[in-house]
C-alpha cells in the first residue's frame, strides 16, 4: 500500500487513482475512525462534498471505512467547506470531513478533515491521523460495519440560516450584484443567501453537472481577469461581482469598473470598516508571506499592524486564535472573519459582509474603498514538477536564487515553495516601485525553470501572473525579454 500523505489541505489527487479512489477513501475513513476511537467510544462525523462527479462514490467509500469503527456518520450532501466546519461544531460532532479539491478541475478530488472545534487539525493531530490512515484495514473487520450512516441534507438549511443571521435588517435590495458560483458548492447556497437579504443577484455558473465545476468560471478565473463575471458587471453597470471557488472557501470580487479586488484588498476594506466601529481586535490583520507589501503600507498609515504567517489558512486561524484577533486571510481570497462560529475561510460570508458595507448609507463605491491600497509590482510563477526535493538540496537553484537576490536588492521579496496540494513549484517575487514588472517576471520564470530542470521537467508547463491586476503573462514574451 502506497503511503497516504496529508498536504496543506488534506489529501489531494486525481479522482479514481490511489488514494482518491474507492479503496483509498475507505482506507482514510478507517484511519479517521481509528483516530477518533482513541478519543471517544462512539464518534460522530459529519461529511459534506462539492459537486464533482466523483464525490458520491468517495463519500460512500469513506463512510464504509468509518462504519467499521462504529462511527455515526451524517452525510449532508453538497455543501461548502465552511458549512461543514460550522455544522461540525454546531452539531457537536467529533470531526467533519469535506470531499473537495477546492479550485482544481473536476478530474481532481480531495479529502480534508476538520476538528470538533470547526478548525483544521493542528500539525500534531494531523501527523497522528496520517499514521492512523496508513494502518491496513484489519481483514477481520471487513464486512462488519457496525456504525450508522444517516442522510442529513436538511442541515444545509441550518448553515444558510447561520450565514444570513448577522445581516438580518441589512437592506441589500438597492445593490446590483452578480455572483459566479463556479458550478460548485455555492450554487444552491449563495443565491438563497442574497435573496433572503432582499437582493436579486444575477447568478452565473450555478448549474453543476459533475464535470463543469471551476470550468472557465469561479474565483481563479476571475482572479486572472477572465470569465464572464467582469463583462457582466461592466455591461450591466453593477455595484459588485463575487466569484467563489468549488468549495466556496474563497471569494474574489470585482468592483463597479470591472477591476480585480483580491484578498489583499478585501482585508484592507474589512480592516478599515471594523476599525471605524472599534471592532478590530488589537488593530491587527493577519495574512501570509504571499500578501503584497502594499497592504502593510496602507494599513500602517491607519495604525493597523500586519502579522504574517506561512501560506495556508490553518496557520492564519491559529494566529487569530492565539492573539484574539478578528480578521485574516490570503491574497487568493481565503478570508476569515473570526469568531466562535466562523472558524475558517467562507467566501459567501465574506461576500455578504462586503455587500453589507456597500449597502450602508452614503457609502462610496467599492473602487474608492480599495483605492488607498497601492500594490507593489508582484508576480507569481507556477511550474509543474515531477518531484519535490528540498530546494536547499538543489545546487543550481541555490546559485540562481542567490544571483537573482543580489540583482534585485535587499528590498525585494522572493518567496519559493512547493504547492501542498498540486505537483507545482511556486515562486513569488515582489519588487519595489523602482523595479519593472518585466524584470521580476523574468527572474521568477528563471527560478521556475531551474527547479523544473532539476526535477526532469525542463520544458514542461509553466505559467506567470501579474498579482496586481490578475493578468496572465505570456511566458514566451517573458523569456524573449519583455512582458506584454
**Residue 484: inside a domain:** no
Catalytic pick among 54, 61, 100, 102 = 102
- 392-434 pLDDT tens trace: 999 999 999 999 999 999 999 999 999 877 889 999 999 998 8
Q: For residue 345, what are the contacts with CB-CB under 8 A and spacing of at least 6?
A: 81, 82, 249, 250, 313, 329, 330, 333, 334, 335, 336
pLDDT at res. 171: 79
Residues 264 and 407 in one domain: no
Residues 265 and 321 in one domain: yes
Of 29-43, 89-103, 129-143, 316-330, least confident by mean pLDDT is: 129-143
Q: For residue 277, what are the contacts with CB-CB under 8 A and spacing of at least 6?
A: none
Residues 365 and 392 in one domain: no
- Domain ranges, residue 318: 160-370
H-helix or E-strand spanning residue 298: helix 293-300
Residues 229 and 328 in one domain: yes
CATH of residue 303: 3.40.120.10
Q: For residue 172, what are the contacts with CB-CB under 8 A and spacing of at least 6?
A: 194, 197, 198, 199, 355, 356, 359
Q: Which residue has the higher pLDDT, 141 or 353?
A: 353
Q: Which residue has the higher pLDDT, 96 or 8?
A: 96
Residues 102 and 55 in one domain: yes
Residues 193 and 99 in one domain: no
Residues 365 and 385 in one domain: no
The pLDDT > 90 percentage for the chain reads 85
The pLDDT > 70 percentage for the chain reads 97
- 349-394 pLDDT tens trace: 999 999 999 998 677 899 999 999 999 999 999 999 989 999 999 9
Greatest distance between any 2 Cα atoms in the chain: 68
pLDDT at res. 142: 58
- Asked which of 340, 370, 400 is the last residue of a domain, the reply is 370
CATH of residue 389: 3.30.310.50
- Asked which of 153, 171, 203 is the last residue of a domain, the reply is 153
Mean pLDDT, rounded, of the chain: 93
- Asked which of 97, 121, 153 is the last residue of a domain, the reply is 153
Q: Give residue for cell 472599534.
A: 278
Number of domains in the chain: 3
Q: In what order do the strands lie in the sheet with 284-288?
A: 305-309, 284-288, 327-329, 335-337
**Residue 174: inside a domain:** yes
In this prediction the pTM is 0.92
> Is the per-residue pLDDT at 143 higher than 60?
no
Of 177-191, 301-315, 392-406, 470-484, least confident by mean pLDDT is: 470-484
**Residue 4: inside a domain:** no
Residues 50 and 175 in one domain: no
Residues 317 and 361 in one domain: yes
The question of whether 102 is a catalytic residue gets the answer yes
Amino acid at each position: 500500500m502506497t503511503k497516504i500523505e496529508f498536504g496543506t489541505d488534506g489529501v489531494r489527487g486525481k479522482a479514481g487513482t490511489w488514494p482518491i479512489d474507492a479503496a483509498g477513501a475507505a482506507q482514510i475513513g478507517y484511519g479517521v475512525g481509528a483516530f477518533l476511537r482513541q478519543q471517544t467510544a462512539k464518534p460522530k462525523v459529519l461529511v459534506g462534498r462539492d459537486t464533482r462527479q466523483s464525490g458520491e462514490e468517495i463519500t460512500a467509500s469513506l463512510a464504509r471505512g468509518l462504519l467499521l469503527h462504529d462511527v455515526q456518520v451524517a452525510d449532508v450532501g453538497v455543501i461548502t467547506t465552511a458549512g461543514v466546519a460550522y455544522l461540525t461544531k454546531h452539531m457537536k460532532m467529533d470531526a467533519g470531513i469535506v470531499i473537495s479539491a477546492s479550485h482544481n478541475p473536476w478530474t481532481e478530488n480531495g479529502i480534508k478533515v476538520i476538528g470538533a472545534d470547526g478548525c483544521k487539525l493542528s500539525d500534531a493531530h494531523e501527523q497522528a491521523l496520517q499514521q492512523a490512515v496508513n494502518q491496513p484495514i484489519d481483514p477481520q473487520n471487513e464486512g462488519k460495519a457496525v456504525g450508522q450512516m444517516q442522510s442529513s441534507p436538511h442541515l444545509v438549511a441550518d448553515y444558510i440560516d447561520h450565514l444570513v443571521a448577522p445581516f438580518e435588517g441589512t437592506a441589500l435590495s438597492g445593490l446590483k450584484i452578480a455572483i459566479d458560483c463556479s458550478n460548485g458548492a455555492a450554487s444552491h447556497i449563495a443565491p438563497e443567501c442574497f435573496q433572503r437579504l432582499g437582493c436579486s443577484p444575477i447568478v452565473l455558473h450555478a448549474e453543476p453537472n459533475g464535470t463543469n465545476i471551476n470550468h472557465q468560471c469561479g474565483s481563479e478565473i476571475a482572479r486572472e481577469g477572465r470569465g464572464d463575471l467582469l463583462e457582466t458587471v461592466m455591461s450591466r453597470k453593477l455595484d459588485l461581482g463575487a466569484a467563489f471557488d468549488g468549495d466556496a472557501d474563497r471569494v474574489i470580487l470585482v468592483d463597479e469598473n470591472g477591476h480585480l479586488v483580491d484578498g489583499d484588498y478585501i482585508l484592507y476594506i474589512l480592516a478599515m470598516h471594523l476599525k471605524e466601529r472599534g471592532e478590530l481586535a488589537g488593530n491587527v490583520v493577519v495574512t501570509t508571506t504571499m500578501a503584497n507589501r502594499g497592504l502593510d503600507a496602507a494599513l500602517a498609515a491607519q495604525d493597523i499592524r500586519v502579522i504574517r504567517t506561512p501560506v495556508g489558512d490553518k496557520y492564519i486561524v491559529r494566529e487569530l486564535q492565539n492573539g484574539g484577533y478578528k480578521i485574516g486571510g490570503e491574497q487568493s481570497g481565503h478570508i476569515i472573519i473570526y469568531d466562535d462560529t466562523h472558524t475558517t475561510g467562507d467566501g459567501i460570508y465574506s461576500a455578504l459582509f462586503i455587500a453589507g458595507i456597500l449597502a450602508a448609507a452614503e457609502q462610496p463605491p467599492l473602487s474608492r474603498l480599495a483605492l488607498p491600497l497601492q500594490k507593489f509590482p508582484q508576480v507569481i510563477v507556477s511550474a509543474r514538477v515531477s518531484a519535490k526535493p528540498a530546494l536547499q538540496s538543489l545546487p543550481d537553484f541555490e546559485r540562481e536564487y542567490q544571483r537573482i537576490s543580489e540583482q534585485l536588492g535587499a528590498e525585494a521579496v522572493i518567496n519559493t515553495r512547493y504547492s501542498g496540494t498540486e505537483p507545482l513549484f511556486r515562486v513569488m517575487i515582489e519588487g519595489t516601485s523602482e523595479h519593472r514588472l518585466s524584470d521580476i517576471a523574468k527572474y521568477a520564470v528563471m527560478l521556475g525553470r531551474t527547479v523544473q530542470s532539476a526535477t526532469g521537467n525542463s520544458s514542461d508547463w509553466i505559467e506567470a501572473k501579474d498579482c496586481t491586476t490578475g493578468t496572465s503573462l505570456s511566458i514566451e514574451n517573458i523569456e524573449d525579454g519583455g512582458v506584454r
